[in-house]
Amino acid sequence: MYLSSTSYTHGERRLIRDLGEAGCDDPRLKDDRLEAYRETTASALAMATEVGARTVAAAGVSPDFVVYATESTDAEDALVRSARLADGLGCPGSVVMSVAGHGCGNLGLLLHVADGLLGTSRAASVLLITSDRVVSRPRIMADGLSVLSDGAAATLASREAPPGGSPGFLVHGLAMSCDWNADPGGDPISAQKRSVRLGRSAAAALRSASGHGPREFTRAIFSNYRYGSQRFLAGAAGFAPAQLLTGPTDEYAHCFAADLLVNCDLLATAGAFALGDRLALSATGPHTWAMVDLEVVALPNAGGEGEEVPAGPTTSDPTT
């Protein structure tokens, strides 16, 4: 399964120190690379439609399926939401479905669904969209993990390798570990122990799926959490400190499940990756730790055309 034509949007830039919530003036936030967050009045569905339409236009295809992940439903009926999304994307013939329930770990759920659709149906492509907006909850997360932002991201999952010109990735393996017995609002020590268990479980499952253990990856990338939290989570999953590569946390803060798609695209465009690099993505939620084994297979160059490396097996290939 390949990922390409990633698009994203964020709300307007706001300074965390002006947020007006308890703890927003904590100097340790800036020390942990949290300075600004993003805010918008646009609905999650409006943002989803915007980024999805841009990805469809960039890819030049009408996807067989559209899978939308959000924890911000704005109270619209699921049937109405699917119809509006299909109409806004200009894809009236696409099968639209929604997934949720894993918070910032929804990216892992999206990829699992896409991998299953590509592997068991005649679908050639699946448009993946995640979009969220803070409406009636504090932006500073209760566990101090990060500050929530409004935004969305979309990417095209496909059977065939994408054309050059923009970042492209090959998914070699997927894994998700869950613990629904845990109370996410419990004491910090119990929460840390739970994170270690989930991280080790997800890393073991990914090794089984793709053959790569934590120390065999070029880079480990997490959502835009506080830098100290990213280091702790990386260690919990078995990565070395030097493997950790952080995204623009200071600029975007934490945009739910969109962070990793945004970070991969931005870092690839900025020259942080080389062709053939293996990236371990970790998407975590209150009860979930999802891990993804990605290979960098296309990068933009100075002339604007992507370079490619030979295709390898995908997670949809029954021989792998």
**CATH number, domain with residue 282:** 3.40.47.10
Do 23 and 59 belong together in one domain?
yes
Do 67 and 207 belong together in one domain?
no
- 192 band by pLDDT with thresholds 50, 70 and 90: confident
Q: Evaluate whether residue 203 is within a structural domain.
A: yes
Do 21 and 135 belong together in one domain?
yes
pLDDT, residue 196, reads 84
If you count DSSP H runs as helices and E runs as strands, how many of each does the chain have, helices first? 8, 12
Q: Evaluate whether residue 320 is within a structural domain.
A: no
271 pLDDT exceeds 80? Answer: yes
Among the residue ranges 49-58, 76-85, 122-131, the one predicted with the least confidence is: 76-85
pLDDT, residue 316, reads 38
304 pLDDT exceeds 50? Answer: no
The predicted model gives 105-132 an average pLDDT of 94
Among 158, 189, 211, the domain boundary falls at 158
Do 143 and 216 belong together in one domain?
no
pLDDT, residue 186, reads 61
The proportion of the chain whose per-residue pLDDT surpasses 70, expressed as a percent, equals 90
Cα distances from 282 to residues 40, 142, 228, in angstroms, run 26, 20, 15
Tens-digit pLDDT profile for residues 234-269: 999 999 999 999 999 999 999 999 999 999 999 999
Backbone angles phi, psi at 253, to 5 degrees: 55, -145
Tally of structural domains, the chain: 2
Q: Evaluate whether residue 280 is within a structural domain.
A: yes
The predicted model gives 4-30 an average pLDDT of 92
Q: Evaluate whether residue 274 is within a structural domain.
A: yes
Do 113 and 242 belong together in one domain?
no
* CA–CA gap between residue 73 and residue 301 (Å, rounded): 39
More confident call, 145 vs 283:
283
The helix (run of H) or strand (run of E) holding residue 106 is helix 106-120
Q: Evaluate whether residue 221 is within a structural domain.
A: yes
Give the 3-state secondary structure of residue 108: helix
pLDDT, residue 182, reads 65
Residue whose token pair is 């300075």: 35
Do 146 and 233 belong together in one domain?
no
Do 193 and 103 belong together in one domain?
no
Is residue 8 within 8 A of residue 150, CB to CB? The reply is no
Give the 3-state secondary structure of residue 278: strand
74 pLDDT exceeds 80? Answer: no
307 pLDDT exceeds 70? Answer: no
pLDDT, residue 166, reads 86
More confident call, 145 vs 96:
96
More confident call, 317 vs 217:
217
Do 47 and 136 belong together in one domain?
yes
Do 52 and 122 belong together in one domain?
yes
Domain range for 38 is: 2-158
Q: Evaluate whether residue 48 is within a structural domain.
A: yes
Do 124 and 105 belong together in one domain?
yes
* CA–CA gap between residue 12 and residue 186 (Å, rounded): 33
AA identity, residue 293: D
Q: Evaluate whether residue 313 is within a structural domain.
A: no
Among 116, 139, 158, the domain boundary falls at 158
Backbone angles phi, psi at 309, to 5 degrees: -115, 160
Do 16 and 135 belong together in one domain?
yes
More confident call, 276 vs 30:
276
Do 40 and 80 belong together in one domain?
yes
- 183 band by pLDDT with thresholds 50, 70 and 90: low
Question: Which runs of E-coded beta strand occur in the chain?
Answer: 2-10, 12-15, 36-39, 65-69, 95-99, 125-132, 151-158, 168-178, 219-222, 278-284, 288-300, 306-308
Among 98, 125, 158, the domain boundary falls at 158
Q: Evaluate whether residue 194 is within a structural domain.
A: yes
